[in-house]
Structure 1
Amino acid sequence: MRLEFVENGPIRVEGKRFVVRVGEREEVLERPRLSLCRCGGSGKKPLCDGTHARIGFQAPGGVLEVEEGD
């Protein structure tokens, strides 16, 4: 699994199928990439809706790769 922390933006997760559960709500998304809010301002949490750009969110970029071990 690979997570990309976009400079001044969301966390991008690469995959194929995502199941997003929030409270009683469950949504299945079939797509190659998902952007998660990290500014706290999204109206679609946990998904990013672009609010970070409007509010001037600032944070460094980076990558986290999770490798499956034996």
Structure 2
Amino acid sequence: MPGDPDRICRLTLPADGPLLVRGPVEVTLDDGTVATSDRFVVAVCTCRRSRTYPWCDTSHRRRTRPARKADRP
């Protein structure tokens, strides 16, 4: 892999969201099944709320965070 930029696997770790991987990718799940995607960039779910797991369907966006004590009246 060193010296070959076409073989570098690029990952992006956003603060609140899925793991973005430069595709195509192959993901091996806990049960041994393999999911593949040939997309240019693949969003891999990290919250496990996705109905299309292991791919992100933005389910993480529907969940609201509880108000902090400082924000409460």
Q: Aligning the two structures, in what range does the TM-score lie when normalised by the shorter sequence?
A: 0.5 to 0.7
Q: Hey, what's the Cα distance between the residues in 2 that align with 1:11 and 1:21?
A: 15
Q: What secondary structure is seen at the aligned counterpart in 2 of 1:52?
A: helix
Alignment size in residue pairs = 56
Q: Hey, what's the Cα distance between the residues in 2 that align with 1:40 and 1:28?
A: 17
Structure 2: runs of 5 or more not aligned: 1-8, 66-73
Identity of aligned residues (%): 29
> 4+ residue runs of structure 1 moved beyond 6 angstroms?
none
Which has the bigger relative contact order, CA under 8 A and spacing at least 6? 1
1:29, distance to aligned residue in structure 2 (A)? 2.5
Bigger share in strand: 1
Q: Hey, what's the Cα distance between the residues in 1 that align with 2:64 and 2:17?
A: 10
Q: Which has the larger radius of gyration?
A: 2
Question: TM-score, normalising length from structure 2?
Answer: 0.58
Q: Hey, what's the Cα distance between the residues in 1 that align with 2:48 and 2:32?
A: 21
Structure 1: runs of 5 or more not aligned: 58-70
